[in-house]
Amino acid sequence: MPSLREAQAAFARGLLDASDTAVLAHLAGAHGMDADAGLAVYRNSTFSNYRGALREAYPVIQRLVGEEYFDQAADDFIRFTPSTFGDVNLYGAGFGDFLASYPGARELVYLPDVARLEWAVHLAFQDIDCEPPDFARLADVPPERLAALRFSLHPSVRLLTSPWPVLAIWRANQPACDDNEAVDLGSGGNRLLVIRRGHDVDLELVSAAEFAALAALANKASLGDALEVAHMADPDFDFGAFLQRHAAVGTLADFTLE
C-alpha cells in the first residue's frame, strides 16, 4: 500500500493526466461507476474550474485567439502548471510565459506581454487596499535626510514594459470596442503603471524616467537613488512634480526613514 503522501501525489497526477492510471488501483468506484469514470468526474470538474479562472483573468487573450484555441491552451497550461493556491482567483500566473513558447502563439509576438498586462490588471483587483498615508509627517524630516527616505507603493501597483503597444491592444479588445478597430504594431512599445484607485484599475503610460523612478522605489531604493536613476533616463525630469503627483493620486503608500 502506498503512503498517504504517495497516494495523494498519484491522485493529483491522475487528475491532471488521464494517461497516468497508477492511482486507479487504489480507488473504489461509487454510484455504479468504476474508478476510472469516477476520477474522470473530478478531472472534468477541476479543468472546468481552472479553465473558468483563466477565462476570467485573460478575456483579451481569449478574444484575440478565439474560444476554441484559448480553451486548448488553457487545458495544456493546467496540465503543465498545476495550482499551488487554494483560491482559484489566484490561478493563472505565468500564462504569458507559457504562451511565449506555445505552438501557434509564437507568431503573435505581442501575445505574452498582453497576457502579462491582463494578469497585472487581474491582481490589482485582488490586492488589499491600504490607509491613505499621512504625508504631513514629512515636515518633521530634516532637509538633509530627505534623500534617505524610502517610499512604498500601493499594494496593487504593477509596472510593465513591452516593445509592443500592449495598452492599445488591450483597449481595442474591451467589450465595448469595435471589432474592426486596428492597432499599429509598429507604433512603439509601452511603459505602464497599473494601479487600483477606488473600485477601478487604471493603466497609465509613463515616461522612461518616471518608470525608472517607480521601479526603484518598488525595489526599496532610497529617494536619492530613485532620483539618480530617473535623471539618468532624463536629465530634465521634474522629480518634485513626480512625487507630488503620485502622492496625490495614491501611488505612494507610505514612507520610512532609516
Task: Provide the residue ranges of all domains of the chain, joining segments of one domain with +.
Answer: 130-258
Higher pLDDT, 255 or 114: 114
Average pLDDT of span 78-86: 83
The second-level CATH assignment, the architecture, of 130-258 is Alpha-Beta Complex (3.90)
Q: Which has the minimum average pLDDT: 3-12, 48-57, 70-79, 223-232?
A: 3-12
- Give the Cα separation of 235 and 196 in Å (integer): 30
Average pLDDT of span 133-146: 86
Q: E-assigned strands of 131-232?
A: 149-153, 158-162, 190-197, 200-205
pLDDT tens per residue, range 144-203: 999 999 999 999 999 999 999 999 999 999 988 776 678 999 999 999 999 999 889 999
Q: Is the pLDDT of residue 14 over 70?
A: no
Q: Is the dihedral of CA 172, 173, 174, 178 positive or negative?
A: positive
Q: Which three cell numbers stand for residue 142?
A: 530634516
pLDDT value of residue 136: 84
**Confidence tier at 25 by pLDDT (50, 70, 90):** very low
pLDDT value of residue 177: 78
- Give the Cα separation of 191 and 188 in Å (integer): 10
- 3 state SS of 157: coil
Higher pLDDT, 49 or 60: 60
Which stretch of DSSP H or E encloses residue 255? strand 252-257
Cβ-contact 214, 204 below 8 angstroms? no
**Confidence tier at 21 by pLDDT (50, 70, 90):** low
Q: Is the pLDDT of residue 30 over 70?
A: no
Q: Is the pLDDT of residue 12 over 70?
A: no
